[in-house]
Structure 1
């Protein structure tokens, strides 16, 4: 019997396991099994080397579906993400994302569909790595500024949101929610939502400066 497996990677800078499962269920997925790695870097640790991530290679069978919030849950390294997706497709596993409802299926024989699929894999894997790099640089900049002289002189205005709220906002933005709708749910001002939307790296830097 085929199964649907949700894989989640959870860290202090990412969404919780409960949030990722709730998002998947709201998107219509019926999850049979959840596998999650906690506190594992998606940049420095390959999927096959993570305590739980490596189980995917053992339990997934032809016809199974692997669900992830987005491909960045599989990893933030271009080569690792693209290789993992291609491996699972080669094993007859279908990969589906909650955000944007992407489907990666190795069964298609249509050359045009194959070309589009492969281009999407490359683009999404590259985007995951680029976002990780931007976040890392923003955090480094925030720490460096805080260590230079009087930290208060470099902090600027304290953010009106904490890390958990930032994750909630970015999660809703990734699902194409509007600023007004997000403001109504979170209680933040529409202007704050727009600032996060337009400059996520800057928002990350502010959180790092204020140790939020």
Structure 2
């Protein structure tokens, strides 16, 4: 039996390392790390990602697939739920770092099955809703910047896309503001702004095409 961490990140290698650190801090002993970098989780299904395909080839019955959260496994509600269920049909146990969820297809207790399936549906729906908000904010920001180049775009963000993603990851993991600031090189005030209005912070990146 092997434990495989699957990480999908936008750009920076340090985010991959951070996801492994998070998983190990949560008690997982990771045997392999499979990473898709620069691949959109909004537009690309897991089976179409270069390393996502490897998961279906390498995972066997009894293996454990670890992900930071279920949004790593698909682009929308249907994709996430079908991916998790396909792994369960193959006897693979899916576990999340955030909220310590376990999705195991071997259970036969009807109550446990109902709770498991309800959790899959809820978490997948939440992941899709968050992805749609992010996509809408990016599209609106880009359209605004391209269509009205003479319009004041606001102050240019003092953080990059990679830094924004890392801040979000660390905040979602429960890290303190000061620790996030130190790890990312961003001021505490900026970390507070990202935490308190994440959609606007991401829209600012989109407006500046950052």
Whether TM-score is above 0.5 comes out as yes
Query: CA 1:15 to 1:116, structure 2 compared with 1: closer, same or farther past 3 Å?
Result: farther
CA contact (8 A) 2:7 2:36 kept: yes
Following superposition, the deviation at residue 179 of structure 1 comes to 3.5
Where in structure 2 are the equivalents of 1:184-195 lying within 5 Å?
185-186=183-184, 188-195=186-193
Distance 1:62 1:131, change over 3 A: same
2:74–2:83 CA contact under 8 A, matched in 1: no
Q: Hey, what does 1:131 align to over in structure 2?
A: 130
State the secondary structure of the residue aligned to 1:145.
Answer: helix
The match for 1:156 is: 154
For 1:31 and 1:13, the matched residues in 2 are separated by 20
On the 8 A contact 1:146/1:154 being kept in 2, the answer is no
* Structure-2 change in CA distance of 1:14 and 1:97 (3 Å): farther
Deviation (angstroms), 1:149: 3.2
SS at match of 2:50: coil
Q: Structure 1 residues 6, 155: closer, same or farther in 2, change over 3 A?
A: same
Match of 1:121 in 2: 120
| Structure 1 alignment gaps of length 5 or more | none
Task: Report if the CA contact (8 A) 1:10-1:39 is conserved.
Answer: yes
Structure 2: distance between partners of 1:29 and 1:37 = 20
CA positional deviation for 1:70 = 1.2
Q: Equivalent of 1:169, from 159, 167, 170? A: 167
How far, CA to CA, are the matches of 1:55 and 1:187 in structure 2? 34
- 1:110 offset after TM fit, Å? 2.5
Normalised to the residue count of structure 1, the TM-score between the two structures is 0.87
**In the TM superposition, what whole-angstrom CA distance separates every residue of 1:45-87 from its partner, at most 9, and x where no partner exists?**
2212222212222221111100111111111211111001011
Change (3 A) 1:15 1:107: farther
Does the residue aligned with 1:44 lie in a helix, a strand or coil? coil
In 1, distance between residues paired with 2:131 and 2:201? 14
SS of 2:113's partner is helix
Look up the match of 1:28: 27
Residues 13, 120 of structure 1: CA spacing in aligned structure 2 closer, same or farther, 3 A cutoff? Answer: farther
Distance 1:181 1:39, change over 3 A: closer
Count of aligned residue pairs for this structure pair: 210
Quote the residue 1:58 is aligned against.
57
CA displacement at 1:184 relative to structure 2: 5.2
Q: Pairwise CA RMSD of aligned residues?
A: 2.3
Relative to 1, partners in 2 of residues 1:110 and 1:14: Cα closer, same or farther, differing over 3 Å? farther
Query: What is the alpha-carbon distance in structure 2 between the residues aligned to residue 99 and residue 200 of structure 1?
Result: 19
